Amino acid sequence: MLMFWLYPAFASHNSLNASEDNQVPWMKYWIVFGFFNAISCLTSGLETWMPFLKTLKFAIMCWMQPSLGGGYQLILDRWLGPLLRRNSAKIQVILDVVSNMSSIILRELIKMMTLDDDDFHVTPRLQSAVNEVIAELRMARQAAATLNSSSSNSEANSLASSSKRKPKNCNRSTQCNPSTK
């Protein structure tokens, strides 16, 4: 942990105060480290069957460090960089979909949790996030109600001034007149 997380974090922090030439290697290291960490998590189940896998991962992590081996540069230039450039648009679409879905799921979970306030106990930080989402939902509902009332007022004015009465369209945002269904 000290060698692969804390030291690189400290070196990255120090590079922020230095020239841009010192910042770029650490940014590249963190890109490669993120992918290596994901692969390491996916292959952790194999460590019981492959006795030297942990040792190999350790050696690769040492080699990747900018101050030790600089292997991050080789990995980024030969494999990871071309892979990311080739699939950048696809990755962005996937990230957008995942972000939108997680936002929707979080909102639905918060709605479900706030239905019964007696059994709902959370930390103050989560409660403030829940309150923000609830306030956002209330504002959206109020805006929709205001929009519906202003559109129905304008529809009523246009109907009164018009000599021909047009049937009102039925959709989710407006209520249907039973005589025009």
Residue 64: pLDDT band with limits 50, 70, 90:
very high
- Integer CA distances (angstroms), 63 to 12, 67, 74, 156, in order: 17, 9, 10, 74
pLDDT given for residue 118 in this prediction = 56
Q: Assess whether pLDDT exceeds 90 at residue 82.
A: yes
pLDDT in tens, 4-54: 778 888 888 888 888 888 888 889 999 999 999 999 999 988 988 988 998
**CA-to-CA distance for 36 and 39, rounded, in angstroms?**
5
Residue 73: pLDDT band with limits 50, 70, 90:
very high
User: Which range (24-28, 98-102, 129-133) has the least confidence?
Assistant: 129-133
Helix (H, G, I), strand (E, B) or coil at 106: helix
pLDDT given for residue 81 in this prediction = 94
Query: Which residues, other chains included, contact 144 with Cβ-Cβ below 8 Å and sequence gap of 6+?
Result: 173
Query: Which residues, other chains included, contact 80 with Cβ-Cβ below 8 Å and sequence gap of 6+?
Result: 31, 32, 35
What percentage of the chain reaches a pLDDT higher than 70? Answer: 75
Q: Which two tokens stand for residue 153?
A: 């007022």
Residue 157: pLDDT band with limits 50, 70, 90:
low
Q: Assess whether pLDDT exceeds 50 at residue 141.
A: yes
pLDDT given for residue 110 in this prediction = 76
pLDDT in tens, 162-181: 544 444 444 444 444 444 44
Question: C-alpha angle 45/48/52, rounded to 5°?
Answer: 110
Query: Which residues, other chains included, contact 37 with Cβ-Cβ below 8 Å and sequence gap of 6+?
Result: none
- Integer CA distances (angstroms), 111 to 104, 108, 131, 138, 141, in order: 11, 5, 11, 12, 14
pLDDT given for residue 172 in this prediction = 47
Average pLDDT of the chain is 78
